């Protein structure tokens, strides 16, 4: 999965397990990074210049219950939150993800498509 961004210094840790087999702990969420510093053109979060948008790929049972987030929702979080991991996917691509506590998610955006 090529993003066109230079990811040197981001510190991704490559894992040999496939993304589809990842199950986060109860209060944790796995987010596919959008790698876009602009959260959304129509959304302004005052005082938060370093926000990033991503998509929930996996969510722990407690995080889902407490936050209302589900797999497929978009989220906005501060750029430097979570640990960066890289997983192979079923289609042979690479997914660059964050594993973070659900409390670090600033905003959830329900998908309508």
The structural domains of the chain, ordered by start, are 13-109 (2.30.33.40)
pLDDT averaged per 10 residues in sequence order, the chain, 113 residues:
45 70 88 64 57 89 91 87 82 86 90 71
Angle ∠(13,106,93) on CA atoms, nearest 5: 35
In this predicted structure, what is the pLDDT of residue 81? 79
Q: Which residues pair with 59 in a beta bridge?
A: 29
In this predicted structure, what is the pLDDT of residue 7? 45
- For 50, phi and psi rounded to 5 degrees? -105, 55
Strand pairing of 51-59 and 94-101?
unpaired
Could you give the CA distance from residue 67 to residue 47 in angstroms, rounded to a whole number?
23
In this predicted structure, what is the pLDDT of residue 3? 42
In this predicted structure, what is the pLDDT of residue 6? 42
**What is the pTM assigned to this prediction?**
0.72
In this predicted structure, what is the pLDDT of residue 100? 92
């Amino acid at each position: 999965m090529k993003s066109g961004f230079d990811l040197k210094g981001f510190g991704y840790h490559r894992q040999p397990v496939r993304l589809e087999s990842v199950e986060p702990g109860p209060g944790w969420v796995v987010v596919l990074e959008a790698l876009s510093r602009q959260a959304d053109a129509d959304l302004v979060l005052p005082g938060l210049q370093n926000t990033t948008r991503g998509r929930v790929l996996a969510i722990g049972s407690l995080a889902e219950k407490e936050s209302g987030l589900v797999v497929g929702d978009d989220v906005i979080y501060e750029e430097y939150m979570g640990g960066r991991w890289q997983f192979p996917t079923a289609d042979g691509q690479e997914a660059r993800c964050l594993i973070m506590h659900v409390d670090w998610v600033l905003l959830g955006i329900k998908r309508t498509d």
